[in-house]
Amino acid sequence: MSRFFWVRHGPTHAKSMVGWSDLPADLSDTAHLARLENALPRDALVISSDLSRARATADALQGPRMRLPDDPALREIHFGAWELKHWDNVDDPDRLRAFWDTPGDLAAPGGESWNAVLARVNAAVARLIEAYPGRDIVAVSHFGAILTQVQMARQITAHQAFAQKIDNLSLTELHCGPAGWHAARINHKT
């Protein structure tokens, strides 16, 4: 069985849609980071997206674990023209509402659709399982990337996945075994 321990990066404090912009994480809550690091399997492999907020969070949680190279496939949704905009400042509010209410093939101008993010992250997870069968993997990533895996493990719709909360520095544990995927815990706070 492969176990994935998904951790959402530390907070950026941005009040806008942050996708591929490389904002730093606030990692000042060292007590929370220590509790989270202690909750992770000691022999797990650690991987993160290549954005600094995820990479720095993974570095803070690595401890004695082996670090894998950063993987850009674990990035957040690419918001294109909506990047770093507040929801109230988007030129096409109907399109934005449809993007969140009916996730699927609709994308921000120059950005990614939910289905594209789902395919990207699923492919990265499949590569990890193939390269490291039966290993525990700590994957430090982003809200959208983690939700794709919650959707897949729970076999729910994208709309149902979007209803799930994934807080900064929370832990989502998903298992992949012979019977398929199982969600052990979602948005767990240490």
The packing angle between helices 30-39 and 52-61, to 10°, is: 70
Alpha-carbon distance of 178 to 47, in angstroms, equals: 24
Q: What is the full per-residue pLDDT of the chain (190 aa) written as tens digits?
A: 999 999 999 999 999 889 999 999 999 999 999 999 999 999 999 999 999 999 999 999 999 999 999 999 999 999 999 999 998 898 899 999 999 999 999 999 999 999 999 999 999 999 999 999 999 999 999 999 999 999 999 999 999 998 899 999 999 999 999 999 999 999 999 8
Separation between Cα atoms, residue 170 and residue 5, nearest integer Å: 10
Nearest Cα residue to 148 out of 177, 181, 111 = 181
How, if at all, do strands 66-67 and 45-48 pair? Answer: parallel
pLDDT at 162: 87
The structure tokens listed for 45 are 């492999």
Quick one: pLDDT at residue 87? 86
CB proximity list for 28: less than 8 A, separation 6 or greater? none
The beta strands (E) that lie in the chain are given as 2-8, 45-48, 66-67, 136-141, 171-177, 180-188
CATH class of 2-188: alpha beta
Residue by residue, what is the 3-state secondary structure of 30-61? Answer: HHHHHHHHHHCCCCCEEEECCCHHHHHHHHHH
Taking the domains of the chain in order of start, what are their residue ranges?
2-188
The confidence score (pLDDT) of residue 186 equals 96
What pLDDT is attached to residue 131? 97
Give me the pLDDT at residue 190, please: 87
pLDDT at 152: 95
Q: Report pLDDT for 25.
A: 97
What pLDDT shows up at residue 98? Answer: 93
**pTM for the full model?**
0.96
CA angle 148, 23, 136 (to 5 degrees): 40
Nearest to 58 by CA among 20, 128, 14, 10: 10
